[in-house]
Amino acid sequence: MRKVENAIILAAGMGSRMIPLTYEKPKGLIKVRGETMVERQIKQLLAVGIDKIIVVTGYLAEQFDFLQEKYAGQVSCIYNPEYEAKNNIASLYLVRQYLGDTYLLSADNYYTENIFRSEETERSWYCAVRSKAAKSEWGLVADESGRIIDVKKQAAAGQPYMYGAVFFSRERTKEFCRILEQEYENPVSHDWLWEELLIRHIQELEFYLHEEGGQAVL
């Protein structure tokens, strides 16, 4: 086991899939049950002792400024000036130096229960959920040990699919950043979600399936 060093929350996107709710506010600042999704995650992280939290902003970035004041010394915002021209791979590239034993999160995830822990194993993992029906989401195929060995463009009924938190262990971070920097030199990659990098290099990057309760798919 090792202590989780920090968390990075990707919050730069324009939230096009949540229009019209995102015309005037970023998707992470939409309230669910009386609190914003991004702030719920921050509170859950702080509750388990993770007090180094980076929020990568872009669209309507100034609306996130209150987080730095409210959680002074615990939350910092880093602005991605390329949020309109590039996909979220640019946000991760911007803060890659902070990846260690790190939770990587999306601002628009909502957890009914606190899934975070102060310590994690040496395994890097990607959270997943299942659906009784087929889903237009990336379906995960794992071997007997739980290691992800393939990713399908669509999840079959009952197949786990990518959703929610990711944990990077320091053992995987160095190799991941090397691949990220190498791929980012090609402008074609700038249109990718960061997960597409993981998918393209899934045989090199050792990530495990992590099914967790307490996740609400919004």
Q: Name, in order, each residue with C-beta under 8 angstroms of 24's C-beta and a sequence gap of 6 or more.
A: 60
| Residues in a beta bridge with 2 | 120
Q: pTM for this structure? A: 0.94
pLDDT tens for the chain, residues 1 to 218: 999 999 999 999 875 555 555 567 899 999 999 999 999 999 999 999 999 999 999 999 999 999 999 999 999 999 999 999 999 999 999 999 999 999 999 999 999 999 999 999 999 999 999 989 999 999 999 999 999 999 999 999 999 999 999 999 999 999 999 999 999 999 999 999 999 999 999 999 999 999 976 565 44
Please state the three-class secondary structure of 127-176 as a single string: EEECCCCCECCCEEEECCCCEEEEEECCECCCCCEEEEEEEECHHHHHHH
* 59 closest CA partner among 24, 7, 94: 24
